[in-house]
Amino acid sequence: MSIIDPVAALMLPDGAIVDRRVAKKLLIEHGARTASDRRHIREGIEEIRWLASLKPTTIGVAEYHDSGREYVEIAVLKLRLRCGARAERLTELVHRAVPYPVVLFSCGEDGLVISLAHVRWSLGEGGKTVLDGNVVATPPLNDQEHETTMAFIENLAVGSQPRATLHSLYQGWIDAVRALRVAGVTGEFQLPASQFEAEERAAALGEFYRLESRIAELNAAASKEKQIARRVDLNLELKRLRSDRDVIRARL
């Protein structure tokens, strides 16, 4: 399996490249609030590199400011994880620790994952940033020859994203990641035609995952149920949930 080169995939200009190692102690100082998180950072991370800094002066895209946030820079980071690392938690800690929106390329035992998360000003701590919503991440990109994965990678270039502001640029990448997630259900990678459509699909995808999880739970319960009447009830509920799931799939 080949590893995606972040700089090549994003088609970054030379002026944006930083390529500097980040000390784990900085992540511990700014992103770890518990002893458990500090231990995960020390034991689970092999290396963090700051690959690039995307600013108006390096990529020609304007800053973004509103009452809740300001995007003056997007950081591109690469995270190498050790075997057994808590990848999802460490990914979240990196996004929380950096005061800018981050495009994070995480390399772990499951494969390469690309993640993003909007940030906003903290309401309780002046000058501090917090995550604005959940981290949005690709599934592990193991089969890079797969049609939908190739379509996603081909869309990653800075020049393929909205370029009005750094916020719209970053949102373009988030929409692409969600489109890849949708493609995992529909088999087709298709970018949303508008932000309204992007938000509708994101909500539908969340509901689809919820139904999938509930169906799996009921399937497990039905396979263990010994009472016939109860098993019938579970199967009827499964039939309803599968019908709901099909309706949601059609919305994707």
pLDDT for residue 137: 97
Q: If residue 46 lies in a helix (H) or strand (E), which one and from where to where?
A: strand 45-54
- For residue range 49-96, list pLDDT tens digits in order: 999 999 999 999 999 999 999 999 999 999 999 999 999 999 999 999
* Per-residue CA distances from 64 to 17, 19, 82, 169, 195 (Å): 21, 25, 36, 10, 17
pLDDT for residue 126: 77
**Residues counted in the chain:** 252
Burial class, 208, CB count within 10 angstroms (exposed 0-12 / middle 13-18 / buried 19+)? buried
> Mean per-residue pLDDT for 110-136?
92
DSSP state of 15: G
Structural tokens at position 5: 């080169």
DSSP state of 193: S
- For residue range 148-194, list pLDDT tens digits in order: 999 999 999 999 999 999 999 999 999 999 999 999 999 999 999 99
Kindly give, in sequence order, each residue whose CB lies less than 8 Å from that of residue 28, ignoring residues fewer than 6 positions away: 38, 41, 42
One-letter amino acid of 190: Q
pLDDT for residue 1: 41
Note whether 163 and 169 are within 8 A (CB): yes
Note whether 131 and 117 are within 8 A (CB): yes
> Mean per-residue pLDDT for 129-137?
94
Cα separation, 32 vs 160, whole angstroms: 35
Cα separation, 146 vs 160, whole angstroms: 20
